[in-house]
């Protein structure tokens, strides 16, 4: 696979959130403000790129029976260190992100790419794939967070954009945007906007997840 396609496919055609259904939980929960979304995207991108590279480098040595736990150990260690870095250098933001940074460990995107791609490709290709998926994921999060923060608080990155009615302006913040369901609707509409004519391929979802089957007897199967 050439670099260009590795980098560009996850943006639209194979977008982690809208097509692969990976990494949804954080896409919904941290997008109430743009700055928290950006921080999580940065943290996730670092973890995704590093874990893909490490797992790809070790792919010849990871036995099939224990590969899930080995991958998870590597990912978890990276997440802990990123969390520690966040707490040490970006203290205020880390307070808000607490549980969700830890949840990057179970973010299906990181494990999904490790299993579906990094285990079969070279380090360079895995890095390109990780970068592509990070960008695709971040793009969706940024769009959702921008809409939610703008309409929900009238601000962007904490800076007021619309003058609020409580301060003599015209804008009445839409509290609904800061709540749970709005994120679902925005992503649903985003999915529609991304492929308005093509029927979504239902089978593509199961294909991604079948790669993680492990038969208790040790051999993996489809």
Residues 135-174 that bind other proteins (CB under 8 A): 149, 152-153, 166
Shortest distance in whole angstroms from residue 170 CB to other proteins: 19
Whose Cβ is closer to other proteins: residue 3's or residue 209's? 209
Judged by phi (left if over 0) then psi (alpha if -120 to 50, else beta), residue 21 lies in left
Q: What is the rounded distance in angstroms from the CA atom of residue 67 to the CA atom of residue 48?
A: 17
> How crowded is the C-beta side of 125, counted as CA atoms within 13 Å?
13
Shortest distance in whole angstroms from residue 198 CB to other proteins: 7
Alpha helices in 9-66 (DSSP H): 24-29, 34-58
Interacting residue with other proteins among 4, 12, 81, 157 (CB under 8 A): 81
Instruction: Report helix, strand and coil shares of the chain as percent, to nearest 5.
Output: 70, 5, 30
In the range 188-207, which residues lie near other proteins by CB under 8 A? 188-189, 191-200, 202, 204-207
Q: What is the rounded distance in angstroms from the CA atom of residue 168 to the CA atom of residue 178?
A: 22
Whose Cβ is closer to other proteins: residue 69's or residue 170's? 69
In the range 40-59, which residues lie near other proteins by CB under 8 A? 59
105 forms part of the interface with other proteins (CB under 8 A): yes
Shortest distance in whole angstroms from residue 163 CB to other proteins: 15
Whose Cβ is closer to other proteins: residue 135's or residue 164's? 164
Encoded one letter per residue, x for contact with other proteins by CB under 8 A and - for no contact, window 8-27 reads ----------xx-xxxxx--
Interacting residue with other proteins among 7, 11, 29, 174 (CB under 8 A): 29
- The angle subtended at Cα 65 by Cα 68 and Cα 67, nearest 5°, is 30
Shortest distance in whole angstroms from residue 52 CB to other proteins: 14
Q: What is the rounded distance in angstroms from the CA atom of residue 40 to the CA atom of residue 38?
A: 5
Q: What is the rounded distance in angstroms from the CA atom of residue 179 to the CA atom of residue 73?
A: 33
Of 5, 48, 22, nearest in space to 140 by CA:
22
Interacting residue with other proteins among 4, 57, 85, 161 (CB under 8 A): 85
């Amino acid at each position: 696979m050439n670099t260009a396609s590795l980098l560009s496919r996850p943006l639209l055609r194979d977008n982690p959130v809208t097509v692969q259904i990976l990494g949804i939980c954080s896409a919904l929960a941290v997008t109430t403000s743009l700055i928290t979304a950006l921080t999580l995207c940065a943290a996730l991108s670092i973890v995704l790129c590093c874990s893909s590279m490490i797992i790809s480098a070790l792919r010849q040595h990871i036995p099939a029976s224990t590969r899930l736990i080995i991958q998870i150990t590597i990912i978890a260690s990276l997440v802990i260190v990123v969390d520690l870095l966040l707490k040490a250098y970006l203290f205020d933001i880390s307070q808000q992100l607490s549980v969700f940074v830890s949840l990057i460990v179970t973010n299906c995107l990181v494990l999904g790419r490790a299993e579906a791609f990094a285990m079969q490709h070279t380090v360079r290709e895995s890095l390109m794939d990780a970068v592509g998926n990070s960008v695709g994921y971040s793009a969706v999060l940024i769009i959702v967070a921008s809409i939610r923060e703008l309409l929900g608080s009238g601000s962007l990155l904490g800076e007021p954009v619309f003058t609020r009615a409580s301060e003599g302006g015209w804008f009445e913040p839409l509290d609904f945007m800061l709540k749970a369901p709005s994120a679902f609707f925005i992503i649903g509409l985003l999915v529609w906007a991304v492929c308005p004519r093509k029927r979504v391929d239902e089978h593509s979802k199961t294909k991604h997840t079948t790669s993680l089957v492990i038969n208790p007897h040790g051999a993996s199967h489809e």
